[in-house]
Amino acid sequence: MKSIQKRLLMLLLVFIILPYFLSVLLIYRQTKADVERHELENSSEQMEQASKDLEQYFDDIVNLPYILYRNPDLFRVFEQGFERSLYFNQLEIYKGMTTFYLMRSEIRQIRFYIEEGKSSFTVYNTMLSSHKRKPDLLNQASIQKLLNSKMNYIIEPPHQIKNYNNTSFMPESDKSTVVTVHHKISDVLTKEFLGIITIDIDLDEIAQIANHFIRKSKETVLLSDSDGHIIYASDETLIGKAVPAELQKKINPEATGAQSTDGDIVFSTTLQEPLNEWSFTKITPSDFLFKNVRETAYTNIIVGVIVGVLGLIMIAVISYKVTRPIKLLSHKVLSINGGNMNAPFDDQREDEIGSLERHIKEMMNRINRHIDREYKLEIENRKNQHRALKSQINPHFLFNALQSIATVALLSESRRVYELVTSLSKMMRYSIRVDQKATVRSEVDYVRAYLNLQEERFQTDFSYAIDLPKIILDIPVPSMIVQPLVENFFKHCYDEGYEQAHLHIYGEIRGEYLNLVVENTGNSMTDDELMVLKNKIYTPINEGNYSLEHIGLKNIHDRLVLHFDQTAGIELDSMQGQGFSVRLVIPLYLKEE
């Protein structure tokens, strides 16, 4: 039942708070869409300009070695080799390489490799190294890739600067990260391979171009080559490494401007010559992009909360003035429901509430008189039940009487009678404590006593075996879980003519579970019958078509599940039509509650 106060709260929610917050949500979504659309348009223009700048910059770098062809003296060194004219070549090498080095401020090192004579020179910090032979230089992976391609140049991903000729003027403290451009020098007419010019450039100019379009270091840019290596990234820890898998999914030129799965806005474009198949990506986090939108929404939400609080105060005042008498009456009625039959009612009021309290007070007086009569009748009934209980046979008296009979049988030298009475006595004692804790040992002792009585009953030597290792005898288990299975052997096997059947009880520990197995080689089941039996046993009482048939097996299964967990229970097996097996699965890692 909804109170008047709850109804007022519902009205406040439906007509004020809900429409307000709905409007805030709509405004937020519309503003967010406008901001996203503006970002798409703005970033598309920025990405296009940045792509052109990067293409132009690398075009200048990879074409820089073509100046060599306009320097006939230096080019002649590549054609004839360094050894032909030592002084002249040394001078030309120095002039040419120093000129190369000074042409761009971002150049950190230059290497000239002359195929004729396998000569190598480097310039570092405007200092020319001595001449060294490098016959194995062409075996390097990056050089091999260049020689086997149709391109005249190859751009190697960022790496730490190397001392190519092991010169002393490059300090070991220089750990700069550079991008290397290898340019192949060939004879224009004969296409004969003459050598290689290697240029190491730092990332400052690339960083300046790439970072020009990001804001407050909140956005991320990524330049990667066609092999998936990161040439530059605003996150410096990624430079020179392979593109991480989560970022690779975002670098999709076909999805330019689309939102990724985490809500970020991703722009990706494929660069053209000389950076074929390179990707330039800009990632704008949604937290940064929609910061102002969220702040506006939060402001509106705070205003809405203030309006809601004021509404609650208004409802509280109305509730106190109007609904308080009704609420007090409701509490009195609830106290009666809780057993307080003498709740005080104010019958002095002259309004409708006063009339209700007077009628309720008169009704309670009549109910109290009726309860008083019923209480006295209940006391008499309990006295009669107590007398009836006293007249019932006391199980302990019966157990003691059986012990006395067993003693008389022993004195009369009727040892078999003594054994049978003792077995029945053990069963009586165990059944008296059926709700207490048990162990595998006590369960087996109870089964042995039961089998002893059954041997006397049938007067035949039926075949059975009990194989239980000592290690499991003291493991606690629920009581009365094995004997019902043995009883089923006589009910469904021995009583139905399978007198040659063999009963086998054994136990073992498998992993973290104790397994107790009761199986026989007599009556069995078909697969369909076994499936029906399993459905009856594993079906909860409150589900499906519950049946009282096979209630013993179901009772054992349900008790094991309740004592332990869902991994406990019984497992049935028809033994391929050669008998029937019931396996009790008891967890060792859980204590019985």
State pLDDT tens for residues 438-471. Answer: 899 988 988 888 787 777 767 666 788 999 999 9
Considering the domain architecture, whether residues 443 and 582 belong to the same structural domain is answered as yes
Residue 299 lies in a domain: no
245 and 164 within one domain: no
Query: For the domain that residue 264 is a member of, what is the CATH number?
Result: 3.30.450.20
- CATH number of the domain encompassing residue 520: 3.30.565.10
Within 13 Å and on the Cβ side, how many CA atoms surround 556? 23
| Structure confidence at residue 200 (pLDDT) | 93
Whether the Cβ atoms of residue 481 and residue 556 lie closer than 8 Å to each other = yes
Q: Is residue 570 a part of any domain in this protein?
A: yes
Q: 219 is in which domain, residue-wise?
A: 213-287
Kindly state whether residues 449 and 477 are assigned to the same domain: yes
Burial of residue 200 (CB within 10 Å: 0-12, 13-18, 19+) is buried
- Domain boundary at 390, 406, 424, which? 390
476: in domain: yes
Same domain, 181 and 233: no
What pLDDT, on the 0 to 100 scale, is given for residue 99? 81
Question: Tokens 């039942």, residue?
Answer: 1
- Closest by alpha carbon to 27, among 308, 303, 296? 296
Residues 173 and 219 in one domain: no
Domain match, 364 and 496 both: no
Helix axes 18-63, 204-211, angle to 10 degrees: 150
Q: How far is CA 501 from the centre of its chain?
A: 52
Same-domain status, 483 and 461: yes
Q: For residues 197 and 264, state if they share a domain.
A: no
Contacts of 36 (CB under 8 A, 6+ apart): 265, 289
**Could you tell me if 148 and 236 lie in one domain?**
no
pLDDT at 466: 93
Residues 383 and 438 in one domain: no
User: CB pairs under 8 A, 24+ apart, for 211-216?
Assistant: 212/50, 212/53, 213/43, 213/46, 213/47, 213/49, 213/50, 213/282, 214/282, 215/288, 216/288
The answer to whether position 31 is within a domain reads no
Is 98 inside any structural domain?
yes
Final residue in a domain of this structure, among 161, 188, 205: 205
Place of tokens 């509730």: 319
Per-residue pLDDT of the chain (593 residues; tens, 9 = 90+): 456 666 766 776 777 777 777 877 777 777 767 766 776 677 778 788 888 898 899 999 888 888 878 877 778 778 877 766 555 566 767 777 788 788 888 999 999 898 888 888 888 888 888 878 888 888 888 889 888 888 889 999 999 999 888 877 788 888 889 999 999 998 888 888 889 999 999 998 998 888 887 765 677 888 988 888 999 988 888 888 888 887 777 666 555 555 555 667 788 888 888 888 888 888 877 776 666 667 777 787 787 778 777 777 777 776 666 666 776 766 677 776 666 666 676 666 666 667 777 777 777 777 776 776 566 545 544 544 444 444 344 454 455 555 556 565 666 666 666 666 666 666 666 665 555 578 999 889 888 887 877 777 676 667 889 999 999 999 998 888 888 888 888 888 877 777 788 889 999 999 999 999 999 988 888 888 889 888 888 887 555 455 556 677 888 888 888 788 889 999 999 888 888 999 999 998 765 44
Would you state the pLDDT for residue 589? Answer: 75
Tell me, yes or no, whether 35 lies in a domain. no
Kindly state whether residues 199 and 224 are assigned to the same domain. no
Query: Is position 80 within any domain?
Result: yes
Q: How many Cα atoms within 13 Å fall on the side-chain side of residue 494?
A: 22
- The beta-strand segments (E) located in 298-451 are 438-439
Q: What are phi and psi of 240, to 5 degrees?
A: 85, -5
Say whether both 188 and 220 belong to one domain: no
User: Residue 394: its pLDDT value, please?
Assistant: 46
Of 573, 571, 546, the C-alpha closest to 561 is 571
Number of structural domains the chain divides into: 4
Quick one: pLDDT at residue 25? 78
> Residue 186: inside a domain, yes or no?
yes
Final residue in a domain of this structure, among 390, 424, 451 = 390
Q: What is the pLDDT of residue 309?
A: 77
